[in-house]
Amino acid sequence: MPYEKEGSVPGTTTTIDKEQRDGLYELVRNHLGGIGDIWVALEENREYVLAEQMGLEFGEDFRLLADLGWEPEDKRQSVELTMEPHDLAELLTRLRGEAEGVLDGTTGMRLQREEEQRARALYQGAKDTCEELLARLDGERG
C-alpha cells in the first residue's frame, strides 16, 4: 500500500510500467547502499549540513520505495507513484544525475564484470524513465 501522511490529500499519481519500476528500483537501491555515509558525515567529519542533505535524500528514497515495493522482484505490471509532483521531480532529477554519472563512467561504482551490461541497461532505462516522468510533471505544472 502506498505511503500517505496522515491527513494528507493524495496528489496526482503517475503510473510507470514494470521495466521502468525495475530501473528506478535499481537506482534507489544503489543510492541507499551509501546510507552509512551519514554516520561518517556526522561523527567523523562533523559535516552536519551534508548529513542533513543525505538524510533528506535517503528519506526520498524510502518514500519512493513505498510505491516501488521493497523486494527486487515485483509482479505488478504497472506501479503508481504517489509522491507529490514537486517532490517526485526533485527526486527524479537527482536519480537521473546519478544514472548519468554511472553511464558516463564518472562515478566510482563497484560493478562486477558479468553484471556490468545488465546494470548499464537498468541505469539507462532508469535515466530514460526519470526524463519521461519529469517531462510529464512539467506538462502537469505548466
Instruction: Note the pLDDT of residue 66.
Output: 95
Asked if residue 72 is part of any domain, the answer here is: yes
Look at the pTM and tell me if it is higher than 0.75: no
For CA atoms 61, 62, 66, 69, give the dihedral sign.
positive
Asked if residue 100 is part of any domain, the answer here is: yes
Instruction: Note the pLDDT of residue 8.
Output: 42
Instruction: Note the pLDDT of residue 114.
Output: 46
Instruction: Note the pLDDT of residue 98.
Output: 86
Asked if residue 9 is part of any domain, the answer here is: no
For 33, phi then psi, to 5°, come to -60, -20
pLDDT, averaged per 10 consecutive residues of the chain (142 residues), comes to: 42 84 92 90 91 94 95 93 92 90 64 63 86 88 67
Asked if residue 49 is part of any domain, the answer here is: yes
Its domain, for residue 132, covers 16-141
Instruction: Note the pLDDT of residue 122.
Output: 81
Instruction: Note the pLDDT of residue 54.
Output: 92
Asked if residue 130 is part of any domain, the answer here is: yes
The number of folded domains in the chain is 1
Asked if residue 2 is part of any domain, the answer here is: no
Per DSSP, helices labelled H in the chain are 18-32, 37-39, 48-68, 85-104, 113-141
Asked if residue 1 is part of any domain, the answer here is: no
Instruction: Note the pLDDT of residue 123.
Output: 84
